[in-house]
Amino acid sequence: MNVVRSNNGSHLSPLPSGPVSITERSMLNEEAFRRMISLERKRSERSRKPFVLMLLDMGQRLPSEKSGRTLSKILAALSTTTRETDATGWYRDNCVVGVMFTEISPEDRDTVVTTMISRVSETLRSNLTLQQFNQLSVSFHVFPEDWDGNAQARPSNPTLYPDLSERANDRRAFNVMKRTMDIVGSTLALILFSPLFLIIAASVRLTSEGPIFFRQRRIGQYGESFTFLKFRSMYVNNDSAIHQDYVKQLIAGKATTNSNGNGQGVYKLTKDPRITRVGSFLRKTSLDEIPQFINVLKGEMSLVGPRPPVPYEVENYAVWHRRRLLEAKPGITGLWQVSGRSRVKFDDMVRLDLRYARTWSPWMDIKIMARTPGAVLMGEGAF
């Protein structure tokens, strides 16, 4: 039997006793079990109690009577390791059995997961023939994952988000339309803004030392990082500590609003000494963001979507905040930008991003893009 740990290497302690009988008839089907995983993620976000998803891959589908007997033995073995609060079902119909061990104490996350592996392995070995046992592959996946903002690999485990892949499949035609809109829109924008592009580039170069473009590592969809482009609006070699501290306070809901000069309070640094005189104008007019059309053309961003955060912002996220990165590709503009921008509290911004991800359609993108020039001209929340 092959045993694989979760992708983030988390560990869990032995689970409390209290086995429950499992039969093939009592198992959830694939649709119901995958829906249960989605619901358990949200429950875990609220309770802050992790859960473990164990998958037993039998390596083949089970249409025959002989394979059915194998499944009955597996379920009988699992009955000794599961509780009434755990859920068992088909992660993949007639091929992969899933068990969710729920309501794990957060303090137990640092204890060894090998205890669970050992218990399941020993129980299965005693109930199956050697051939049946060797055909099984068991993996453990822990939610929430440990996200490392400095890691290059995707930190989110796709196994824990089957509903997102199903949604992507259901929206395949819309996704093709969205990508087509991104390619056409970013290409036209780069052509249309090319004279302005050259003027801004010259202004940045002539008024302060340093490169024309500001390149920064940002976190994109599923937690994957990419190089984010903007016209440089700051002096080089500046200290980001002031921004990091403000972001931490903002996410925690402790940041105070600052005046943007129009009598409006905004959740943003308005007197940032790092910003150049030209950079201040570029930020107020959002002209510093023109190079992001290159990110869109490359497929790293979309015209419409959540704004991509910097790694130190993600480090301060609550688990539910991460959903804004999982459910939609980052964009140049979005529902947040046309709904008050920096005048909106952080949690409300995340809710707007999640609302966009749930209700997205090509028509919605068109409406947001149509509202964007007005929001930019009015300077809604910009600074």
Q: For residue range 257-300, list pLDDT tens digits in order.
A: 654 455 444 556 666 788 899 998 998 888 999 999 999 999 99
Residue 237: predicted pLDDT: 83
190-354-102 Cα angle (round to 5) = 135
Q: Please tell me the CATH superfamily of domain 2-146, with its number.
A: Reverse transcriptase/Diguanylate cyclase domain (3.30.70.270)
- Is residue 175 helix, strand or coil? helix
Residue 381 contacts residue 344 (beta carbons within 8 Å): yes
Q: What is the mean pLDDT of each run of 10 residues along the chain (383 residues)?
A: 54 46 71 94 91 85 58 76 82 89 74 67 78 81 83 85 90 93 97 95 93 94 94 87 86 69 53 85 92 97 95 92 93 87 81 92 93 77 45
- Domain ranges across the chain: 2-146, 166-378
In whole angstroms, give the CA distance from residue 29 to residue 98.
10
| pLDDT value at residue 118 | 75
pLDDT of 349-362, one tens digit each?
999 999 999 999 99
147-180 CB burial, b ≥16 within 10 A, e <16: bebeeeeebbbebbbbebeeeeeeeeeebeebee
